[in-house]
Amino acid sequence: MPMGSLMTEFTLAIAATVIAATLAGVYFTSLNQVADLQKLQVLGLKEQLYYRCDIIYAHSSSGSTIIKIWVKNTGFKGLSRDLIKKSEVIILGGDRVRYLLYGGSSNSWSYKLLNDSDEDGKWDPSETIEVEARLSEPLASGDYYLKFVLFNGAESEYGLSV
Amino acid sequence: MSSLGGLIVFAALTAAGLALMGYMVMAMATHNQLFVERIELMEEIGERCRGYLEIESMAKLQDNRTIEAVIKNVGAGSISIKDFDEIDLIMIYRNSGGSVRAEWLPYDPSGDLEKGWRVLNVTYHGVDELKNPMAADLSSGFWDDGESLAIRAWIGEDQDIADEFMLIMVAPNGVRTR
């Protein structure tokens, strides 16, 4: 076989190998990306499920500056004190929106654990907290819409009429 | 093509094929695992969303601060008596001053607390339960589907139930009264 022909074939073989490797690399990368996306999706789903809550009942009366909200942990993981304090209370109604953060003053909310049977200070699954939302102005008669939002964005809504 | 070129291409393709097959098997295993995890999560959600509790009857006692109620478990699953402290009972009532009040009552099997609720009995269609019966000392047993739980609940001495009242009970899994 002439030397020139051998070189050509060798070059073609190398080129074919490089092309095959490149295509395989692209294919593997795409598959990896799909798998990563699915893992992220499941992780997101898990976090949304792990931390969930449900407003059982809310109570207030016309002229009061306090709304009591009972919220149950319906997720699968407990929340530490720090995570509970990152929650938010949103009250819509009376032609305005009130946005309350955790605190001790007016226009804030605080909580107490009602059935912390293991006394670990955590808001464990199935346990309930009593949230006291303190407003700077008394509630007028009417319909209100309450939202309790956890640190991860999971929220529970409740309609309250006073 | 010469035998050398053919050999190299064949070797390269074989290696790529083997790697691809291996990767496909791994990818399928990963996908399968993710699928199983999703199914498990959905099952867990389903466990939490089913059934409801139904108040069959309730009555106020003469002291005006105690009520008795019978609540039926309609498809909410078996609830262990050991988890009763995770049941929420909220009593909403109007007092003699005309105010509407709402109180969360703790589970108090001994009846020692100022306010609370405790179990009187569990029945199935009016007769003693046969499935997972509760021990007399309330140390074991389940409140199963189809069974009715009789409770007594009381509020503090400084309050009274003037006339109407209502109860909200929420099971540990989030299932509530309708």
Residues B42-53: tens digit of each pLDDT = 766 666 667 899
Q: What is the pTM of this model?
A: 0.78
Average pLDDT value over all residues in chain B: 88
Q: Is residue B59 part of a domain?
A: yes
**Secondary-structure breakdown of chain A: helix, strand, coil percentages, each rounded to the nearest 5:** 35, 35, 30
Mean pLDDT lowest among A8-17, A82-91, B62-71:
A8-17
Average pLDDT over residues B78-95: 94
Q: Is residue B14 part of a domain?
A: yes
Range of the domain at B122: 52-170
Contacts of A43 in chain B (CB under 8 A): none
In this prediction, residue B138 carries a pLDDT of 83
In this prediction, residue A1 carries a pLDDT of 60
Average pLDDT over residues B60-71: 95
Q: Min CA distance, B43 vs chain A (Å)?
A: 12
Contacts of B13 in chain A (CB under 8 A): 20
Q: Do B31 and A38 touch (CB under 8 A)?
A: yes
pLDDT-above-70 percentage for chain B = 93
Average pLDDT over residues B18-36: 77
Average pLDDT over residues A140-145: 93
In this prediction, residue B48 carries a pLDDT of 65
Average pLDDT over residues A42-66: 88
Average pLDDT over residues A72-79: 92
Tell me the sheet residues that pair with B101: B93
What total of structural domains would you count in chain B?
2
Tokens of A103: 């605190």
Q: Do A31 and B41 touch (CB under 8 A)?
A: no
Average pLDDT over residues A14-40: 80
Q: Min CA distance, B127 vs chain A (Å)?
A: 30
* Co-location of B78 and B26 in the same domain: no
* Co-location of B77 and B146 in the same domain: yes
